[in-house]
A and B are shown apart, each in its own frame.
Chain A
Amino acid sequence: MFQSIDDVQEALAKQSYFADRSIATTVFLASKLGKPLFLEGEAGVGKTELSKVLAATLKTDLIRLQCYEGLDASQALYEWNYPKQLLRIRLGEATNGSREDIDKELFSEEYLIRRPLLEAITADGEQPPVLLIDEIDRADEEFEAFLLEVLSDFQITIPELGTLKAKRQPTVVITSNRTREIHDALKRRCLYLWIDYPDFDREYEILRTKVPGIDERLAGQVCALMQQLRQEDFYKKPGIAETIDWGAALMALHKDELDAETVEETLGCIFKYRDDIESFRQGNLVALLEQADVNKSM
């Protein structure tokens, strides 16, 4: 449990996540008020990473539910293990087991397949787990309504077993890439946080930590160029992951300075779409590099 906003910032920094004040404030409040965090932002700004780091900070498990179109309760909550149940019946028949025994056993927890939501609710570790519901915009609207139900009281009723209630509420993080609008009803239950691309200082710090040993000057150039690229009009702007990948690639190539040729060779680390690579090539790379140099030395 966090004591203050500064406390959050420090704890996250220990896990190499450099949260700005707005992120730290919202995380702090989420833990204090016991509300889910609803994270939105461009792809690659560190939404998923934040929940991983949060789990590490709280010294607990991360339970992840990756959403996709058609995701339903049996994939998110629980399912009976039918094949195993059938085997049990056959075994009972073969060994002349009593009917009562089979009846009793068949719908016990042994035959229950726990999916992430149930797992999060029934977790009995020392600390309640962090439940990450990733990319909820990919799931159907029906699932949102279902999730709303689960998140409001953290209990699940399984007809054959009874009601299971979380002993302590898990820390819930929901992320969305905004490929569609999420219902307000769900968002209003959460604390809303828009995560932006990091500014130069934060990104520089991240890069130096994630790629230890990277040349200071090179790291500065990389971050400055990235900051600049995000101002430009690309289909998929490079995120933090790209910065780290690129930094690591440059390290591996033993580069300690950026020049046009090096950038050209490693474009694949920065852009994931052919269109973007082409429109980048049309731009004036030399000017960008000079600009990056000026910015960095500021």
Chain B
Amino acid sequence: MTYASDSRVLDRVLTEIDRRHGSLSANLVQFAALLKAAEVAVTTTQLIAAGQALGEIDFARRGDVREALASTMLTQVEDRAVFDELFDRYWNLPRPEDDGPRPEPASLEPGKQKLGIAELVDVAYVRGTPVSSQERPPRSYSAEEVFVEKDFATYRDDEVRAARRYLRRLAPKLATATTRRRRAARTGTELDLRRSLRRAWMTDGEVLKLLRKRRRVRRLNLVLLCDVSGSMDVYSRFLTQFVYGLQAELRRVSTFVFSTRLFDVTAMLKARSFEEALDRIRRHVDGWSGGTRIGGCLAEFNRTYGRERIGPRTAVIIISDGWDRGDVDQLRREMRLLKRRAFKVLWLNPLLGAKDYLPVAQGMAAAMPSIDAFLPVHNLASLSRVGRELMSLARG
């Protein structure tokens, strides 16, 4: 369906709503704009569905209206809380007075709105940082640029949410690049006539068994070793979330967290978030945050999981600032061992984001010779670069 025909359908649906319910269509469009301001994007297709849905239900039942809009406008349960909050506030507002012409769907600039709406836009927009609607910075290119360059450690709560949404959208984009390539290379996955006929030689030309060609799947395995000591957990959290989005392109992802000890959180992350997993470990392990022993943890990894989790198509990503309290020689030794087994070893270090950083900390220096790629990981921009790096490995 083209965009033009989409908007024609939308017009028709909205007109139909108004025929039944007065100037409701403007409210619907406005509500969608509010959601969008709260980073819950609603597409034209969804808006059409929402409009149609309103035509099917008893408008007097507020609960039904809510469910109808939620099911047509949302795509993930995480947005439901924002949705409910905005729904309650928006649909309980007094209807806009009927004196002026109803606002055109296109004219949603905050300046032209009646007071109630402007306030709502603020609620939707910043949630937590009150900015008046007039001053609200437009979602311009430069604003986004500033945002992707901002260090994770300096994020406010609302920025954490925005960054998550950014990552959720970024991951599929990176992944599609791979998918296309794979499809193009996918010739003749079906019947392997050549081999079938060749084999038929043995049975006097009679084809007894049909052989098939299969696409050769050589997807990448990934092991994440996340330093969560000190302030590292912020960066580790964003990395694991990001990798989660790329998972479909990878064969297997194992995630470990470490500080003074190493933990396999792979299974835990299937059911809960990174923070929850960390909390759980903190509760159950004494002396968890007592500094970092990278060498010791790597030794434990190599000994316990190395054989099972690392194969020739396994990339290992270590995310740590390299400040090690432990034995430097051990770290050097274990890194070498890791490098020998793994396909690639990537080390991500948030400190690399600082302009004047040099990897001179003893631990970091010891690890350097065994690293294939040394990358920063302090903001969205550097994380996308990690993603591209990873996808090019996955394709390889």
Interface residues of A (CB under 8 A from B): 4-5, 21-22, 25-26, 28-29, 32-33, 35, 38, 40, 70, 72, 74, 82-83, 86, 140-142, 145, 179-181, 183-184, 187-189, 191-194, 233, 235-236
Main secondary structure of the interface of B (DSSP, over half): helix
A29 touches B68 (CB 8 A): yes
0/1 per residue, B67-106, Cβ < 8 Å to A? 1101110111100100000000000000000000000000
Known contacts A188-B46, A233-B280, A235-B267; A22 and B53 CB within 8 A of each other: no
B249 touches A141 (CB 8 A): yes
Chain A neighbourhood of B77, CB < 8 A: 40, 194
Distance between Cα atoms of A82 and B324 in the complex (Å): 62
Chain A neighbourhood of B75, CB < 8 A: 38, 184, 187-188, 192
Q: Which residue of B lies closest to A236 (CB)?
A: B271
Distance between Cα atoms of A276 and B45 in the complex (Å): 43
Distance between Cα atoms of A236 and B268 in the complex (Å): 10
Distance between Cα atoms of A188 and B74 in the complex (Å): 8
Distance between Cα atoms of A38 and B49 in the complex (Å): 14
B71 touches A26 (CB 8 A): yes
Give A292 Cβ to nearest chain B Cβ, in Å: 24
Chain B neighbourhood of A22, CB < 8 A: 67, 70-71
Known contacts A29-B53, A183-B172; A21 and B268 CB within 8 A of each other: no
A35 touches B49 (CB 8 A): yes
A192 touches B67 (CB 8 A): no
Interface residues of B (CB under 8 A from A): 43, 45-46, 49, 52-53, 56-58, 63-64, 67-68, 70-72, 74-77, 80, 168-169, 171-172, 175-176, 179, 182-183, 189-191, 207, 210, 217, 244-245, 247-249, 267-268, 270-271, 280
B67 touches A25 (CB 8 A): yes
Q: Which of A29, A141, A189 contacts B248 (CB 8 A)?
A: A141
Give A81 Cβ to nearest chain B Cβ, in Å: 11
Chain A neighbourhood of B176, CB < 8 A: 141
A33 touches B245 (CB 8 A): no
Give B143 Cβ to nearest chain A Cβ, in Å: 22
Distance between Cα atoms of A5 and B271 in the complex (Å): 33
A83 touches B172 (CB 8 A): no
Lowest 9 CB-CB distances: which A-B pairs, in order?
A: A187-B75, A25-B67, A194-B77, A26-B71, A191-B71, A32-B56, A22-B67, A180-B247, A141-B248
Q: Which of A21, A32, A180 contacts B64 (CB 8 A)?
A: A21
Give A205 Cβ to nearest chain B Cβ, in Å: 20
Chain A neighbourhood of B267, CB < 8 A: 235
Chain B neighbourhood of A188, CB < 8 A: 43, 45-46, 75
Q: Which of B52, B172, B249, B270 contacts A179 (CB 8 A)?
A: B270
Chain A neighbourhood of B74, CB < 8 A: 192
Known contacts A29-B56, A235-B271; 9 further A-B pairs (Cβ under 8 A): A5-B58, A5-B64, A86-B207, A140-B248, A141-B179, A180-B248, A181-B172, A191-B71, A235-B268
Give B355 Cβ to nearest chain A Cβ, in Å: 35
Distance between Cα atoms of A38 and B56 in the complex (Å): 19
